[in-house]
Structure 1
Amino acid sequence: MSSPVPPARPVFRADVQGLRAVAVIAVILNHVIGWPAGGFAGVDVFFVISGFLITGLLLRDREEHGRISLRRFYAKRMRRILPAAVTVLIATSVAAYFLFNRPRAISTLWDAVSSLLFVSNWRFAAEGTDYFQATDAVSPLQHFWSLSVEEQFYLVWPWLMLLVLAVAARSVRASTNRVRIAVGTTLAVIVAASFVYALWETATSPAPAYFSTLSRVWELGVGALLAAAAPALARLPLPVRVLGGWIGLAGILSSFFVISADTPFPGPWAAFPVLATALVIAAGVGGRQRHLVPLVNPVSVFFGDLSYSLYLWHFPILVFLLVLMPQQTTTVTLLILGLTLAVSLVSYFLIEQPLHRSPWLAGAGGGTGEALAATEEGQDARDARRAAWQGWRERFGAQFILSSLGLVVIVVAVVVTAQVTLRGGPSAAAPGAPGSPGAPAAASPNDGSGAGDTAGQPAVNPEDELQAQLAEAAAATSWPGDLSPSLDDVIAAGSSTNPARACFDIGATPDFGSCTWGSGDAPNHLYLVGDSEALSYAPAFKALAEGSDGTWKVTTVGLYGCRFTDVLIQNEGAGVMDACQQRKQDVASHIVSDAPQLVVVSNAYALGKASDGRPITVGDIVASTTTETAKYGASGRLVYLAPPPLGASLGQCYSPATSPQNCNVGIDQAWQDFQSATAAAAAATGDHVVSSLPFSCANGVCPAFAGTLPTKYDSVHLTPAFAEHLAPSIRWELGALGLF
C-alpha cells in the first residue's frame, strides 16, 4: 500500500477565476445580442468548475479532519449561494408585479419559488420550455435552471461520497490514494451513465434534455473526477501542462462558435466545452498557470470574482428592459450591459462578498471564520460570536456604505430612465406600420376573397366600424381602461372558454352532434374544420348559426395543432401526431356523408416540417391543403378562411406600465405568401378565399384590441369574445361570395 498523500491546502486558482469570466461573458453576450451562437455553453464551463471545486473541498475536509462534515459543507454553500440568489428572486418578483401582466407576474412568482427550492429546471422542463425556441414570454428567472442543477448535485453528491468512503475505508487511517480511487471509480460510472442518458434524451426529448439533471450531472462529474485525480495531475510535466492549458482555452472559445441552437445539446456536443474546460483545470493542478495570460490577468480574475452576480442579474435586467424598450437598438443593448455591470458590482460588494465572508452559520459547523473557532476555545461562545461579528463590521463597514450609495444612484437612474421612456410613447414605428419600410397598402374588405355580387347584403358593411376601431387602437398610446374581458383574463384563459374547445381536443374524435349549433332541421349545413385557427373562429360561426333564424346549422370540428393537409406536418404537442390522421379521416367521412352546403377551412399560416423531417415550403403546404380538401367532394362550396396575421406575443408585449404600441405589428411576409398561394390555388379549383385583414388590421397595422375587446390571447389566436364579435363581418364576407 502506498503512503498517504499529504492533504493539499486550497490554493487560489487565478485560471479558474478566468474561466468563470470567460463563461459568464459568453453567456451574457449570447443572451443579449445572440453572439456568439454557442455562448450558452458557458454554463457547461461553470458545471465543470463547480464539480471540481466542490469535490476538492470535500476530499480536503476528509483528509484534514478524518471525516466530511456535512454541516460545515452546507453552511459554506448557504453563505455562498443564498444571499445574492434570494436578493435577485425578491427583486425580480417585485419588478414583475409592476411591469408584467398579471398571469406573467404570477408565473414569475412561481418561478421564484421553484428557484428558491432549487427545482426550477424541473419546472421549466415540465412546462415544455424550449431554451432555443422561446415563442412566448420568457421567464426572467429561466437562467436559474443551472443553479438548480448544481444545487441538486451538491445535495446528493456529498452523501454519496460518504457512502463510498464508508465502503472504501474501514477507518480514518485508510490510504488517501485508496479513497480517491474509490471516489474516482464511482464518478467514472456516474459520468458514463449520465452521458449515455444525455445522448438518448437529447435525441428523443431535446427540450427537456436541456434542463434535465440526469442529462447534465456528467458535466459536474467530469470536474469532480479531476478533483479525485488531483495528486496524479499534479505530477504532469510543465510542458504538458502549458500545452494542455492553451489547447483547453482554445477549445472553450471555439466551442462558442462551433455550437449553435441547431446542435444536439447537451448530448453529445456539450462534451466539447466540458473536455476543453477539463484540460485547463487539469493543467493548473500542478502549479500556477502564469502563461495563460487571457485567464490569469487581473481583469479576468476580477470578472471571475464578479461572475456569480453577473450571471444572476443579467437575465432579469435583459427581460425587464426589453419590456420597457422592446426595440433593441444599440443604445438599449448598451444600457442592458451597463446596468447589468453596475447592479452586479453593487450586489457583489453589498451582499454577496460580505455575507459570504460573514460569521453567519459559522457556529453550525465551521466556515470562513477560522478565527471564530480558535477564539471559542478560550472564551465564551457568545463573546466569540460577538467578536467575530465586530471584526466583520470593521472589515466591511465602509464597503457597505459605499455600495449602498451606489445602489441609491442606480435606483434613481433606473426610475428616471423608466419615466422618460414611458412618457415618450412608442419608441419606434411598429413593423409594417404605415410609413415604415415594406408596409402593405390598406386592404380592401374582400382583399383576396374573390367577392362577387353583394345583393341581399346589409346596407352597411360591419367591417367599416371594425376598421375604425382597429385604426384607433393602432394609434393608441395608452391602454383603455374598459377592456372586457381584460387582457390579463384572456391571457390566463386562452382557449379554455371557447365553446368548441372539446371539439378540437386531442384524443378520440368527438361526437359531431355535440359540435353542432343551430336548428337540427335547418335546411343549410356548414362545416368549419381545421387546426386551432378554426377553433378560434368557432364562436363566430356558433353565433351565425344561432342568429340565422333556423336556416343554418354549423358543425365545428378539428384538432388543436393538426393542420388539415394531406401531408402530416410535425407538431410537438403531446398526442397530436398520433391523433391527426384519424381525425382528418373522420372529418372527411362526415363531410362526404352530410354533403353540407358550405365547408370553411382554416389552418395556421406557418411553415414547418413533414412527419419525416423534411422542410416543406408555402407552396407544398397549400398544395397539400387542397389535396386534403378535395376529399370532401365540395368543389365550389369550399372557403379558405385566413387566420389573423402573426402578432406580437400578448403575454410578452402587454404590460400595464407600457404603451399598446409595443403590441402593434405589421402583416408578416409569411402570411402574405400563404394568402397569395391560397388565393391562386382556390381560383384554380373554383373555390373561395376570405381574408382576415378587414377584421384584424387597419392600414397594415394589427393591434391587440379593437373597441373594448382584446383581439387575441397570444400571438395569433382570436379571443372567444372578439371572435363572436366578428360574426356579422364573416356573414358579410360569405354573403359577398353568394354563399350565405
Structure 2
Amino acid sequence: MKTVGPDAETTEIAAATPNARRAVRADIQGLRALAVVAVILNHVIGWPAGGFAGVDVFFVISGFLITGLIVRDLDANGRVSLRRFYGKRLRRILPAAVTVLVATSVAAWFLFNRPRAVATLWDAVYSFFFVSNWHFAAEGTDYFHATDAVSPLQHFWSLSVEEQFYLVWPWLLVILLFVTAKLVRTRARRLLIVGAVVAVVIAVSFAFALWETAANPTVAYFSTFSRAWELGAGALLAVAAPLFAKLPIAVRFVLGWLGLAGVVWSFFVVSSETPFPGPWAALPVAATALVVVAGIGGPQRYLFPLHNPVSVFLGDISYSLYLWHFPILVFLLMLMPQQTQTVTLIILGLTLAVSMVSYFLVEQPIHRSPWLQRVGSQESDAEARRDARRDAWQSWRDRFSAQFILSSLGLVVIVVAVVVTAQVTVRGGPSAAGPGGGAPAAAPADGAAAAPVNPEDQLQADLAAAASATEWPGNLSPSLDDAISHTSDRNPAKKCFDIGSTPDFGSCTWGDGNAPNHLYLVGDSTALAYAPAFKALAESSGGQWKITTIGLYGCRFTDVLMQNDGAGVMDACPQRKDDIAREIAANAPQLVVVSNAFALGKSADGRALSTTDIVASTGAEVAQYGAAGRVVYLAPPPLGASLGQCYSPVSSPQSCNVGVDQAWQDFLAATTAAASATGDHVVSSLPFSCANGVCPAFAGTLPTKYDTVHMTPEYSAHIAPALRWEFAAQGLM
C-alpha cells in the first residue's frame, strides 16, 4: 500500500519577522485540503487510484513556503535567523507527530501480536528521527519482509523527506544568497543566480528519479534524492515570485483553474502501475505549480473550490488529518476486518474527530506558544527577559485555556467510544486449552493385522479442528509470535537458498552419503519451506535416500528470468539455475522435486506472464535436467492470510482462515496437464494445508505458516510422513 503525507509548513506569506502580520493564502490551504482528502480516500476505499499523488502537491507547497520565508527574512532583516527558523519548525511539526507516535506505539502494544508491536516501536523510533523513508525503503527491498503487514506509521516517510529537506535546504540557500550578495549588487541578479542553481538541482534530481524508478521503484518511491526535484520546484517558484506577481488577473484566472483541473486529473490518471515518481509525478507537480503561481499576485477568490471556509478549515487541520488517518485505518480494520460501508464511515468519522481534537489540543496551541521563541529584547537584562517570558506564557494560557478544556472533553468522548467499540468487537484472546487434535486411531484387536495408517488422516483432523476453532490455542509450539519473528531463520537449509554464489551441494545434502537413491529438491522459497520435510525423509529412510535441497529464494525455476524486487535476487538467479541444472544432469538422480510459487508475475523485460506461460517456462527449465519421467512438481500451500496481520490478541483463528485461491487452482491444473504430457508427476499440498476447502493458521499444536506463503520449519518437518505417503502412492518411494 502506498502512503503519502502533507508538508507540515504553514502558509504564511508576510515578511518573516517576529512581529510580522501573518496572512494565509486560502488557495494553498484549499490545495492542501484537496490533497489530504485524496490521500485519505485512496487509503481507506482505494479511490481515486492516484490519490497518493497528493504527496507531490504537498512537496511543492513545502518547497515554496520554506524558500519564501527565508528569502523574505533576508530581505526584511538583512540576515536569516536559522535559530528562529528551526524553532518554528519544531513547534509546528514535533508535538503533533510525537503525540501520534506515542499513541500508535501504545495501541500497537495492546492490539498487535508481539513481533508486529515491536516492529511498530522501531518504526516510531525511525519516524521520530525523520529517517523512516530510508527504513521503509530498505524493508520494501528485503525479500523476507515483502509480505509483512503494513506499518501504521508507514505514512511518516513523507514527513521524513520533508524534514531532511528542512535540515539541508536552508543552509544551502543561505550560503547561496551570501555568496551571490558578494558577487552581485542587485537583488534581481542574486535571485537569478539562485534560481539557476535551483533549476540545476531540479534537473539532476528528476533525471535521477527517472533512472531509479526504472531500476528500483520501491526505493525511488521513498528516496529523498528522487523526490528533491518536487521540493525544488516549489523553491524555484518562491525565488521567481517577483516575475509572477505582476501577471494580469485574467492570466491568473486561467492558470488557477487549469492547475486545479490538473491536480484533480492526476489523481485519476496516476495509479500504482504508473512509473512513479519519475516521470508521472511531473503531472501533479506542474499542476500545483500553476495554482501557486496564480495566487502570487493576490487572492484567488474566483477559485471557489479552494477558496471557501470548508476547504480552508480542512487545509488548516490537514497535518493532523494526515498524521492520524493511517493508524486509525490500520487499527480499526484489525478490530473490524470486514470493511463494510458502516466501517468505512466509522474510519472517516473517527479520523476527522481525532484530528480536530489533536489540532485544537496539541498542534495549534504549541505552535503558537512561546516555546523555543526569543521573548523580550536582547538588550534587556536577565530579569526583564524572565518577566517577558513569564508574561508571554501567561498570555498563551489565557488564550488557549478554554480551547484546552473543550478539546479535552472531546478527547474523553472519543476514548470512551473507542473503548466501547473495542470491547464489542474483541472476539476472544488466547485460551489455555487448544482445540482437539482429532481422535487417535483405534488399536487393532489382538491377533488382527494392523491396516496401514494414512498420516494424512490425522493432519486432516487437526486442520479441520483448527478451521472451526474460535479461540487461539495456548499450547502452540512454537508460538505464533515466535513463528512470525523467526520466519526461516531456523530452517536447516536456509544457507542453501541464500543470495550469492552457489552453495556447496554436499553441505545441502541430507541422509546417508552412500545411499543408493538420490533426490533433489529445487526451486524458490517454497522449496526452502519444504526442505525440513525432505531432510526428515532422508534421515528416516534407513539409509535408502540422500536428498539435496538447494535453490534460491525469490528465484522462480523457469527458463525465463522473472522479476523480483529482492536485493540481488535477479543477479544471482540465472547462475544459480545453471549450476543446479548442470549438477542434476551430471548426477542423474532417481527423483527431482521442483517447487515454485503459484503466482503470476512479469519477465525481466516487463512482459506479463500468464499461468500457461509460467508453467511452460518451468517445464523448459526442468528439461535441462535430463530427468523426464522422474520429475515431481510439488505444489506450494495455497496463499494464506498474512499471519502478522490477522493474528493478534483481539482476533480469533477465524480471522486467519482462507479458502483455496483461484490462482492456485489454475496453476495446479496447468501443472498437472503439463506433467501428464511428459510422464512426470504432481503432488498436491491440500492434504496437509487445508481441510474441506479451508486453510487455517495452525494444525494441532503447530503453526502452519509464518506469513502468507511459507510453512514454518517445524510444520514442514511434521508433514514428512504425509509426503512419503503421497510419493509412495505414486510409486516414487
Structure 2 length-normalised TM: 0.91
Query: In structure 2, what is the Cα distance between the partners aligned to 1:24 and 1:578?
Result: 39
Q: Pick closer, same or farther for the CA change 1:668–1:638 going to 2, 3 Å.
A: same
Q: Deviations over 1:273-308 (max 9, x none)?
A: 111111111111111111011111000000000100
Q: Pick closer, same or farther for the CA change 1:373–1:265 going to 2, 3 Å.
A: farther
4+ residue segments displaced more than 3 Å: 6-10, 173-176, 372-379
On the 8 A contact 1:376/1:384 being kept in 2, the answer is: no
- Could you tell me which of 378, 387, 396 is aligned with 2:400? 396
- SS of the aligned residue for 1:514 comes to helix
Question: Larger deviation: 199-208 or 538-547?
Answer: 199-208
By how many angstroms is 1:249 displaced? Answer: 0.7
Q: Which residue of 1 aligns with 2:416?
A: 412
Q: Which residue of 2 aligns with 1:63?
A: 75
Q: Which residue of 2 aligns with 1:214?
A: 225
Q: Which residue of 1 aligns with 2:667?
A: 674
Query: In structure 1, what is the Cα distance between the partners aligned to 2:39 and 2:398?
Result: 36
Query: In structure 1, what is the Cα distance between the partners aligned to 2:226 and 2:338?
Result: 36
Alignment of structure 1 residues 4-153 onto 2, 5 Å = 10-128=22-140, 135-153=147-165
Query: In structure 1, what is the Cα distance between the partners aligned to 2:402 and 2:378?
Result: 26
Query: In structure 1, what is the Cα distance between the partners aligned to 2:152 and 2:482?
Result: 21
By how many angstroms is 1:162 displaced? Answer: 1.6
Q: Which residue of 1 aligns with 2:211?
A: 200
1:684 paired to 2:688 = no
Question: Larger deviation: 246-255 or 177-186?
Answer: 177-186
Query: In structure 2, what is the Cα distance between the partners aligned to 1:24 and 1:41?
Result: 10
Q: Which residue of 1 aligns with 2:373?
A: 362
Question: Larger deviation: 307-316 or 382-391?
Answer: 382-391
- Could you tell me which of 385, 390, 394 is aligned with 1:386? 390
The residue type paired with residue 20 of structure 1 is R
Alignment of structure 1 residues 208-607 onto 2, 5 Å = 208-363=219-374, 380-423=384-427, 459-607=452-600
By how many angstroms is 1:183 displaced? Answer: 2.7
Query: In structure 1, what is the Cα distance between the partners aligned to 2:720 and 2:668?
Result: 21
- SS of the aligned residue for 1:652 comes to helix
Query: In structure 2, what is the Cα distance between the partners aligned to 1:414 and 1:672?
Result: 41
Query: In structure 2, what is the Cα distance between the partners aligned to 1:551 and 1:424?
Result: 48
By how many angstroms is 1:127 displaced? Answer: 2.1
On the 8 A contact 1:349/1:400 being kept in 2, the answer is: yes
Query: In structure 1, what is the Cα distance between the partners aligned to 2:643 and 2:26?
Result: 46
Q: Pick closer, same or farther for the CA change 1:613–1:311 going to 2, 3 Å.
A: same
By how many angstroms is 1:199 displaced? Answer: 1.5
Q: Deviations over 1:229-270 (max 9, x none)?
A: 222211111111111111111111111111111111111111
Query: In structure 1, what is the Cα distance between the partners aligned to 2:200 and 2:42?
Result: 33
Question: Larger deviation: 606-615 or 382-391?
Answer: 606-615
- Could you tell me the percent identity over the aligned residues? 74
On the 8 A contact 2:141/2:567 being kept in 1, the answer is: no
By how many angstroms is 1:345 displaced? Answer: 0.6
- Could you tell me which of 628, 640, 651 is aligned with 2:621? 628
Q: Which residue of 2 aligns with 1:158?
A: 170
Q: Pick closer, same or farther for the CA change 1:235–1:457 going to 2, 3 Å.
A: farther
Query: In structure 1, what is the Cα distance between the partners aligned to 2:196 and 2:23?
Result: 25
On the 8 A contact 2:513/2:546 being kept in 1, the answer is: yes
Query: In structure 1, what is the Cα distance between the partners aligned to 2:682 and 2:563?
Result: 25
Query: In structure 1, what is the Cα distance between the partners aligned to 2:388 and 2:93?
Result: 25
Aligned residues: CA RMSD: 2.2
The residue type paired with residue 556 of structure 2 is R
- SS of the aligned residue for 2:519 comes to strand
Query: In structure 2, what is the Cα distance between the partners aligned to 1:612 and 1:222?
Result: 32
Which consecutive residues of structure 1, in runs of 5 or more, have no partner in the other structure? 1-5, 367-371, 426-455
1:654 paired to 2:647 = yes
By how many angstroms is 1:54 displaced? Answer: 1.1
Query: In structure 2, what is the Cα distance between the partners aligned to 1:202 and 1:182?
Result: 30
Query: In structure 2, what is the Cα distance between the partners aligned to 1:241 and 1:736?
Result: 79
Query: In structure 1, what is the Cα distance between the partners aligned to 2:394 and 2:132?
Result: 37
On the 8 A contact 2:428/2:650 being kept in 1, the answer is: no
The residue type paired with residue 90 of structure 1 is V
- SS of the aligned residue for 2:520 comes to strand
By how many angstroms is 1:591 displaced? Answer: 2.3
Query: In structure 2, what is the Cα distance between the partners aligned to 1:633 and 1:48?
Result: 59
The residue type paired with residue 405 of structure 2 is I
Query: In structure 2, what is the Cα distance between the partners aligned to 1:575 and 1:198?
Result: 21
The residue type paired with residue 424 of structure 2 is V
By how many angstroms is 1:10 displaced? Answer: 4.9
Q: Pick closer, same or farther for the CA change 1:598–1:296 going to 2, 3 Å.
A: same
By how many angstroms is 1:394 displaced? Answer: 0.9
- SS of the aligned residue for 2:154 comes to coil
On the 8 A contact 1:21/1:300 being kept in 2, the answer is: yes
By how many angstroms is 1:504 displaced? Answer: 1.4
Q: Pick closer, same or farther for the CA change 1:181–1:689 going to 2, 3 Å.
A: same
On the 8 A contact 1:479/1:656 being kept in 2, the answer is: no
On the 8 A contact 2:141/2:566 being kept in 1, the answer is: no
Q: Pick closer, same or farther for the CA change 1:220–1:611 going to 2, 3 Å.
A: closer
The residue type paired with residue 256 of structure 2 is G
Question: Larger deviation: 507-516 or 457-466?
Answer: 457-466
On the 8 A contact 1:599/1:638 being kept in 2, the answer is: yes
The residue type paired with residue 108 of structure 1 is T
Q: Deviations over 1:538-593 (max 9, x none)?
A: 11111111111112211111221222222222222233223323322322232233
Q: Deviations over 1:84-130 (max 9, x none)?
A: 00100111111111112222222211111111111111111222269
1:665 paired to 2:658 = yes
The residue type paired with residue 181 of structure 2 is A
Question: Larger deviation: 120-129 or 388-397?
Answer: 120-129
By how many angstroms is 1:375 displaced? Answer: 12
On the 8 A contact 1:375/1:384 being kept in 2, the answer is: no
By how many angstroms is 1:377 displaced? Answer: 8.9
Report the count of equivalent residues.
Answer: 696
On the 8 A contact 2:216/2:565 being kept in 1, the answer is: no
The residue type paired with residue 671 of structure 2 is T
Which consecutive residues of structure 2, in runs of 5 or more, have no partner in the other structure? 1-13, 430-448
On the 8 A contact 2:467/2:695 being kept in 1, the answer is: yes
Q: Deviations over 1:348-402 (max 9, x none)?
A: 0100011111111112xx6xxxxx5699799711111111111111111011011
- SS of the aligned residue for 2:397 comes to helix
Query: In structure 2, what is the Cα distance between the partners aligned to 1:459 and 1:378?
Result: 94
The residue type paired with residue 200 of structure 1 is W
- SS of the aligned residue for 1:639 comes to strand
- Could you tell me which of 607, 619, 629 is aligned with 1:614? 607
On the 8 A contact 2:205/2:227 being kept in 1, the answer is: yes
On the 8 A contact 2:140/2:146 being kept in 1, the answer is: no
